[in-house]
Amino acid sequence: MSPSTRGREVERYEPLEDDRVRCAVCPRRCVVPPGERGVCDVRQNDGGRFELLTYGRAVSTAIDPIEKKPLFHFAPGARVLSVAARGCNFECDFCQNYRIAIEHEDVPEQSFPPAELADAAEERSCEGIAYTYTEPTIFLEYALDTMRETGEDTCNVFVSNGYMTEETATQLATELDAINIDIKGHTEFYRKRCAVPDPAPIYDAAETLADAGVHVEITNLVIPDENDDPEVVRERMAWIREELGPGTPVHFSRFRPAYRMQDVPPTPIATLESLMDVAREEGLYHVYCGNVPGHESESTDCPDCGTCVIKRQGFEIRSYDLEDGGCPSCGRPIEVAGTEWSRGAESTGSRRRLRF
Protein backbone atom coordinates (compact mmCIF):
# COMPACT_ATOMS: atom_id res chain seq x y z
CA MET A 1 0.00 0.00 0.00
CA SER A 2 1.27 3.43 -0.91
CA PRO A 3 2.83 5.43 1.97
CA SER A 4 0.99 8.51 0.69
CA THR A 5 -2.36 6.93 1.50
CA ARG A 6 -1.47 5.17 4.76
CA GLY A 7 -0.63 6.36 8.23
CA ARG A 8 -2.42 9.71 8.30
CA GLU A 9 -2.06 11.13 11.80
CA VAL A 10 -5.28 11.08 13.80
CA GLU A 11 -6.69 14.55 14.50
CA ARG A 12 -8.10 13.83 17.96
CA TYR A 13 -5.83 12.06 20.44
CA GLU A 14 -3.90 12.78 23.63
CA PRO A 15 -0.23 11.82 24.10
CA LEU A 16 0.43 9.99 27.39
CA GLU A 17 3.47 8.73 29.26
CA ASP A 18 5.62 5.97 27.78
CA ASP A 19 4.48 6.82 24.23
CA ARG A 20 0.95 5.68 24.96
CA VAL A 21 -1.93 7.65 23.45
CA ARG A 22 -5.59 8.15 24.33
CA CYS A 23 -7.97 8.29 21.35
CA ALA A 24 -10.68 10.98 21.47
CA VAL A 25 -12.65 10.04 18.36
CA CYS A 26 -15.24 7.77 19.94
CA PRO A 27 -16.45 7.46 23.54
CA ARG A 28 -14.38 4.35 24.19
CA ARG A 29 -11.37 6.68 24.46
CA CYS A 30 -9.00 3.76 24.03
CA VAL A 31 -5.61 4.03 25.70
CA VAL A 32 -3.25 2.46 23.16
CA PRO A 33 0.37 1.37 23.88
CA PRO A 34 3.04 1.65 21.17
CA GLY A 35 2.54 -0.87 18.37
CA GLU A 36 -1.05 -1.59 19.37
CA ARG A 37 -4.45 -0.60 17.95
CA GLY A 38 -7.69 0.64 19.44
CA VAL A 39 -10.88 -1.42 19.64
CA CYS A 40 -11.78 -0.35 16.10
CA ASP A 41 -8.59 -2.10 14.90
CA VAL A 42 -7.75 0.62 12.36
CA ARG A 43 -6.12 3.27 14.59
CA GLN A 44 -2.57 2.35 15.57
CA ASN A 45 0.04 3.83 17.87
CA ASP A 46 3.31 4.13 15.95
CA GLY A 47 5.80 5.14 18.63
CA GLY A 48 3.54 7.78 20.14
CA ARG A 49 2.11 8.99 16.82
CA PHE A 50 -1.47 7.84 16.47
CA GLU A 51 -2.33 6.92 12.87
CA LEU A 52 -5.36 5.95 10.82
CA LEU A 53 -4.41 2.81 8.88
CA THR A 54 -7.33 3.01 6.44
CA TYR A 55 -6.73 6.56 5.24
CA GLY A 56 -7.45 6.78 1.51
CA ARG A 57 -8.25 3.05 1.36
CA ALA A 58 -11.81 2.24 0.28
CA VAL A 59 -13.29 -1.23 0.67
CA SER A 60 -16.58 -0.40 -1.04
CA THR A 61 -17.85 2.27 -3.41
CA ALA A 62 -21.18 2.58 -5.21
CA ILE A 63 -23.58 5.16 -6.56
CA ASP A 64 -26.82 5.21 -4.58
CA PRO A 65 -29.95 7.34 -4.33
CA ILE A 66 -29.75 9.38 -1.14
CA GLU A 67 -33.09 7.87 -0.11
CA LYS A 68 -31.27 4.54 0.38
CA LYS A 69 -29.24 5.89 3.28
CA PRO A 70 -32.10 6.50 4.32
CA LEU A 71 -32.37 10.29 4.06
CA PHE A 72 -35.91 11.24 3.04
CA HIS A 73 -35.91 14.93 3.93
CA PHE A 74 -32.51 15.97 2.62
CA ALA A 75 -31.63 16.64 -1.03
CA PRO A 76 -34.55 14.61 -2.44
CA GLY A 77 -33.59 12.58 -5.48
CA ALA A 78 -29.86 13.27 -5.20
CA ARG A 79 -27.35 10.65 -6.31
CA VAL A 80 -24.48 10.08 -3.89
CA LEU A 81 -21.16 8.33 -4.26
CA SER A 82 -21.09 5.94 -1.30
CA VAL A 83 -17.74 5.01 0.21
CA ALA A 84 -16.56 2.86 3.11
CA ALA A 85 -13.28 1.99 4.77
CA ARG A 86 -12.96 -1.15 6.86
CA GLY A 87 -13.55 -1.31 10.59
CA CYS A 88 -16.09 -0.35 13.25
CA ASN A 89 -16.27 0.65 16.91
CA PHE A 90 -19.24 -1.71 17.43
CA GLU A 91 -19.48 -5.47 17.12
CA CYS A 92 -23.17 -6.00 16.36
CA ASP A 93 -24.47 -9.57 16.25
CA PHE A 94 -26.81 -8.54 13.42
CA CYS A 95 -24.34 -6.64 11.24
CA GLN A 96 -25.18 -6.87 7.54
CA ASN A 97 -21.71 -5.67 6.51
CA TYR A 98 -19.68 -7.71 8.99
CA ARG A 99 -17.14 -8.80 6.36
CA ILE A 100 -15.88 -5.24 6.00
CA ALA A 101 -16.84 -3.89 9.42
CA ILE A 102 -15.87 -6.67 11.85
CA GLU A 103 -14.08 -9.58 10.14
CA HIS A 104 -12.15 -7.26 7.88
CA GLU A 105 -8.48 -8.12 8.25
CA ASP A 106 -8.10 -9.59 4.76
CA VAL A 107 -10.69 -7.54 2.92
CA PRO A 108 -9.36 -6.07 -0.37
CA GLU A 109 -8.77 -2.31 -0.36
CA GLN A 110 -8.57 0.17 -3.21
CA SER A 111 -6.43 3.29 -3.14
CA PHE A 112 -8.90 6.17 -3.30
CA PRO A 113 -7.37 9.35 -1.78
CA PRO A 114 -9.68 12.21 -0.77
CA ALA A 115 -9.02 14.41 -3.81
CA GLU A 116 -9.68 11.51 -6.18
CA LEU A 117 -12.86 10.62 -4.31
CA ALA A 118 -14.14 14.18 -4.54
CA ASP A 119 -13.30 14.27 -8.26
CA ALA A 120 -15.01 10.92 -8.81
CA ALA A 121 -18.27 12.23 -7.36
CA GLU A 122 -18.23 15.13 -9.81
CA GLU A 123 -17.18 12.99 -12.78
CA ARG A 124 -20.00 10.52 -12.08
CA SER A 125 -22.59 13.30 -11.85
CA CYS A 126 -23.27 12.75 -8.17
CA GLU A 127 -24.69 15.54 -6.05
CA GLY A 128 -23.01 14.24 -2.92
CA ILE A 129 -20.78 11.77 -1.11
CA ALA A 130 -22.11 9.37 1.52
CA TYR A 131 -19.77 7.89 4.11
CA THR A 132 -21.55 4.64 4.86
CA TYR A 133 -21.66 0.78 4.94
CA THR A 134 -19.16 0.72 7.85
CA GLU A 135 -18.94 3.28 10.66
CA PRO A 136 -17.58 6.53 9.16
CA THR A 137 -16.57 7.93 12.55
CA ILE A 138 -13.81 5.31 12.52
CA PHE A 139 -12.38 6.69 9.27
CA LEU A 140 -13.05 10.27 10.37
CA GLU A 141 -9.89 11.87 8.95
CA TYR A 142 -10.41 10.21 5.57
CA ALA A 143 -13.99 11.52 5.51
CA LEU A 144 -13.08 15.01 6.73
CA ASP A 145 -10.27 15.44 4.21
CA THR A 146 -12.62 14.33 1.44
CA MET A 147 -15.24 16.84 2.57
CA ARG A 148 -12.58 19.55 2.50
CA GLU A 149 -11.83 18.64 -1.13
CA THR A 150 -15.47 18.97 -2.22
CA GLY A 151 -16.99 22.22 -3.39
CA GLU A 152 -20.28 23.85 -2.50
CA ASP A 153 -22.01 21.91 -5.26
CA THR A 154 -21.38 18.62 -3.43
CA CYS A 155 -23.12 17.62 -0.20
CA ASN A 156 -21.60 15.29 2.39
CA VAL A 157 -23.65 12.86 4.47
CA PHE A 158 -22.96 10.24 7.15
CA VAL A 159 -24.76 6.98 7.85
CA SER A 160 -23.64 6.36 11.40
CA ASN A 161 -24.17 4.59 14.69
CA GLY A 162 -23.68 8.02 16.27
CA TYR A 163 -21.12 6.74 18.77
CA MET A 164 -18.72 9.66 18.76
CA THR A 165 -17.33 12.06 21.34
CA GLU A 166 -18.74 15.54 21.67
CA GLU A 167 -15.43 16.89 20.32
CA THR A 168 -15.78 14.72 17.22
CA ALA A 169 -19.41 15.75 16.71
CA THR A 170 -18.48 19.43 17.04
CA GLN A 171 -15.64 19.09 14.53
CA LEU A 172 -17.74 17.02 12.14
CA ALA A 173 -20.53 19.60 12.17
CA THR A 174 -18.24 22.14 10.50
CA GLU A 175 -18.12 20.03 7.32
CA LEU A 176 -21.13 17.66 7.38
CA ASP A 177 -24.48 18.46 5.78
CA ALA A 178 -26.66 15.56 6.95
CA ILE A 179 -26.55 12.39 9.01
CA ASN A 180 -28.74 9.36 9.58
CA ILE A 181 -28.11 7.95 13.06
CA ASP A 182 -29.10 4.36 13.77
CA ILE A 183 -30.30 4.15 17.36
CA LYS A 184 -30.32 0.42 17.96
CA GLY A 185 -32.16 -0.07 21.24
CA HIS A 186 -32.05 0.30 25.02
CA THR A 187 -28.89 0.17 27.11
CA GLU A 188 -28.99 -3.57 27.79
CA PHE A 189 -29.48 -4.27 24.08
CA TYR A 190 -26.34 -2.26 23.27
CA ARG A 191 -24.38 -4.21 25.88
CA LYS A 192 -25.67 -7.62 24.80
CA ARG A 193 -25.79 -7.24 21.01
CA CYS A 194 -23.32 -4.45 20.12
CA ALA A 195 -20.56 -4.72 22.75
CA VAL A 196 -21.19 -1.10 23.74
CA PRO A 197 -21.35 -0.31 27.47
CA ASP A 198 -23.36 2.90 27.36
CA PRO A 199 -25.28 4.44 24.42
CA ALA A 200 -25.72 7.85 26.12
CA PRO A 201 -23.02 9.53 23.94
CA ILE A 202 -25.12 8.72 20.85
CA TYR A 203 -27.93 10.94 22.08
CA ASP A 204 -25.46 13.67 23.03
CA ALA A 205 -23.90 13.57 19.56
CA ALA A 206 -27.30 13.77 17.87
CA GLU A 207 -28.14 16.88 19.88
CA THR A 208 -24.76 18.47 19.17
CA LEU A 209 -25.07 17.89 15.42
CA ALA A 210 -28.69 19.08 15.25
CA ASP A 211 -27.90 22.20 17.30
CA ALA A 212 -25.06 22.97 14.87
CA GLY A 213 -27.43 22.90 11.90
CA VAL A 214 -26.66 19.44 10.53
CA HIS A 215 -29.78 17.74 9.14
CA VAL A 216 -30.52 14.68 11.33
CA GLU A 217 -32.71 11.66 10.64
CA ILE A 218 -33.06 8.67 12.97
CA THR A 219 -33.31 4.98 12.05
CA ASN A 220 -34.55 2.31 14.44
CA LEU A 221 -33.71 -1.25 13.37
CA VAL A 222 -36.43 -3.37 14.98
CA ILE A 223 -35.51 -6.97 15.93
CA PRO A 224 -38.29 -9.25 17.22
CA ASP A 225 -38.22 -9.76 21.01
CA GLU A 226 -34.94 -7.86 21.25
CA ASN A 227 -35.63 -4.13 20.96
CA ASP A 228 -39.33 -3.88 20.07
CA ASP A 229 -40.79 -2.96 23.47
CA PRO A 230 -43.35 -0.22 22.69
CA GLU A 231 -42.79 1.65 25.96
CA VAL A 232 -39.03 1.79 25.46
CA VAL A 233 -39.60 3.03 21.91
CA ARG A 234 -42.12 5.57 23.21
CA GLU A 235 -39.53 7.02 25.56
CA ARG A 236 -37.06 7.35 22.67
CA MET A 237 -39.66 9.01 20.44
CA ALA A 238 -40.45 11.52 23.19
CA TRP A 239 -36.75 12.33 23.43
CA ILE A 240 -36.55 12.89 19.67
CA ARG A 241 -39.55 15.22 19.77
CA GLU A 242 -38.23 17.21 22.72
CA GLU A 243 -34.52 17.39 21.85
CA LEU A 244 -34.34 17.15 18.05
CA GLY A 245 -37.77 18.47 17.14
CA PRO A 246 -41.08 16.93 16.01
CA GLY A 247 -40.13 17.40 12.35
CA THR A 248 -37.19 14.99 12.67
CA PRO A 249 -37.75 12.11 10.20
CA VAL A 250 -37.85 8.72 11.90
CA HIS A 251 -37.44 5.37 10.12
CA PHE A 252 -38.44 1.98 11.54
CA SER A 253 -36.39 -0.56 9.65
CA ARG A 254 -37.27 -4.24 9.23
CA PHE A 255 -34.68 -6.71 10.49
CA ARG A 256 -33.63 -9.58 8.25
CA PRO A 257 -31.51 -12.50 9.51
CA ALA A 258 -27.80 -11.68 9.36
CA TYR A 259 -24.39 -12.59 10.79
CA ARG A 260 -24.79 -14.16 14.26
CA MET A 261 -28.58 -13.80 14.28
CA GLN A 262 -29.48 -16.06 11.39
CA ASP A 263 -32.04 -17.89 13.52
CA VAL A 264 -34.12 -14.78 14.28
CA PRO A 265 -37.08 -14.29 11.92
CA PRO A 266 -37.69 -11.06 10.00
CA THR A 267 -39.62 -8.39 11.85
CA PRO A 268 -43.38 -8.68 11.36
CA ILE A 269 -44.66 -5.71 9.42
CA ALA A 270 -47.43 -5.36 12.00
CA THR A 271 -44.76 -4.75 14.67
CA LEU A 272 -43.21 -1.98 12.61
CA GLU A 273 -46.58 -0.37 11.99
CA SER A 274 -47.43 -0.54 15.68
CA LEU A 275 -44.20 1.25 16.60
CA MET A 276 -44.82 3.82 13.87
CA ASP A 277 -48.13 4.54 15.58
CA VAL A 278 -46.26 5.05 18.85
CA ALA A 279 -44.01 7.61 17.16
CA ARG A 280 -47.01 9.49 15.76
CA GLU A 281 -48.72 9.41 19.15
CA GLU A 282 -45.63 11.06 20.59
CA GLY A 283 -46.02 13.91 18.13
CA LEU A 284 -43.51 13.10 15.40
CA TYR A 285 -44.61 14.34 11.97
CA HIS A 286 -42.66 12.16 9.53
CA VAL A 287 -42.53 8.43 10.30
CA TYR A 288 -41.43 5.81 7.77
CA CYS A 289 -41.21 2.03 7.42
CA GLY A 290 -37.89 0.75 6.04
CA ASN A 291 -36.88 -2.48 4.30
CA VAL A 292 -40.50 -3.05 3.26
CA PRO A 293 -40.66 -2.16 -0.46
CA GLY A 294 -43.99 -0.74 -1.51
CA HIS A 295 -45.15 0.17 1.98
CA GLU A 296 -47.59 3.07 1.98
CA SER A 297 -45.33 5.06 4.30
CA GLU A 298 -42.64 5.39 1.61
CA SER A 299 -44.09 8.76 0.60
CA THR A 300 -44.16 12.02 2.56
CA ASP A 301 -47.60 13.37 3.43
CA CYS A 302 -48.52 16.71 4.90
CA PRO A 303 -49.04 16.16 8.67
CA ASP A 304 -52.01 18.56 8.65
CA CYS A 305 -54.11 17.75 5.60
CA GLY A 306 -52.61 14.45 4.39
CA THR A 307 -51.69 15.66 0.90
CA CYS A 308 -48.83 13.64 -0.60
CA VAL A 309 -46.00 16.13 -1.14
CA ILE A 310 -43.18 13.70 -2.03
CA LYS A 311 -44.22 10.53 -3.82
CA ARG A 312 -41.70 7.67 -3.59
CA GLN A 313 -41.59 4.23 -5.13
CA GLY A 314 -38.85 2.27 -3.45
CA PHE A 315 -35.88 4.64 -3.43
CA GLU A 316 -37.09 6.63 -6.43
CA ILE A 317 -38.98 9.90 -6.27
CA ARG A 318 -41.96 10.04 -8.61
CA SER A 319 -43.10 13.55 -7.74
CA TYR A 320 -42.01 16.38 -5.50
CA ASP A 321 -44.77 18.91 -4.90
CA LEU A 322 -43.98 21.75 -2.55
CA GLU A 323 -44.94 25.40 -2.93
CA ASP A 324 -42.49 27.76 -1.28
CA GLY A 325 -41.37 24.94 1.00
CA GLY A 326 -44.89 24.05 2.06
CA CYS A 327 -47.86 21.84 1.29
CA PRO A 328 -49.54 22.91 -1.97
CA SER A 329 -52.98 22.26 -0.46
CA CYS A 330 -52.88 23.89 2.96
CA GLY A 331 -49.56 25.79 2.99
CA ARG A 332 -48.11 24.01 6.02
CA PRO A 333 -44.28 24.15 5.98
CA ILE A 334 -42.68 20.76 5.29
CA GLU A 335 -39.24 20.08 6.76
CA VAL A 336 -37.01 19.38 3.74
CA ALA A 337 -33.35 20.47 3.70
CA GLY A 338 -30.64 20.48 1.07
CA THR A 339 -32.93 21.24 -1.85
CA GLU A 340 -30.01 22.90 -3.66
CA TRP A 341 -28.72 19.38 -4.23
CA SER A 342 -32.06 17.86 -5.22
CA ARG A 343 -31.69 16.05 -8.51
CA GLY A 344 -33.29 17.39 -11.69
CA ALA A 345 -35.33 20.11 -9.99
CA GLU A 346 -37.45 22.03 -12.46
CA SER A 347 -39.36 25.14 -11.51
CA THR A 348 -43.01 25.22 -12.50
CA GLY A 349 -44.32 28.46 -11.08
CA SER A 350 -43.71 28.21 -7.36
CA ARG A 351 -44.02 24.43 -7.48
CA ARG A 352 -41.01 22.19 -8.08
CA ARG A 353 -40.94 18.76 -9.65
CA LEU A 354 -38.15 16.27 -10.14
CA ARG A 355 -37.43 14.88 -13.60
CA PHE A 356 -36.56 11.21 -14.14
Torsion of CA 143, 148, 152, 153, to 10 degrees: -50
Instruction: Say how far apart CA 267 and CA 276 lie, in whole Å.
Output: 13
Closest among 230, 225, 180 to 74, alpha carbons compared: 180
Instruction: Say how far apart CA 267 and CA 54 lie, in whole Å.
Output: 35
88 assigned ligand-binding residue: yes
Q: What angle do CA 327, 330, 333 make, to 5 degrees?
A: 45
SS3 306: coil
Burial class (CB in 10 A: 0-12, 13-18, 19+), 188: exposed
Burial class (CB in 10 A: 0-12, 13-18, 19+), 99: middle
302 assigned ligand-binding residue: no
Closest among 78, 57, 58, 60 to 68, alpha carbons compared: 78
SS3 102: coil
Q: Residue type at 246? A: P
- Which DSSP helix (H) or strand (E) runs through 219? strand 215-222
95 assigned ligand-binding residue: yes
Residue ranges at the known binding site = 88, 92, 95
Q: Which residues are annotated as a binding site for [4Fe-4S] cluster?
A: 88, 92, 95
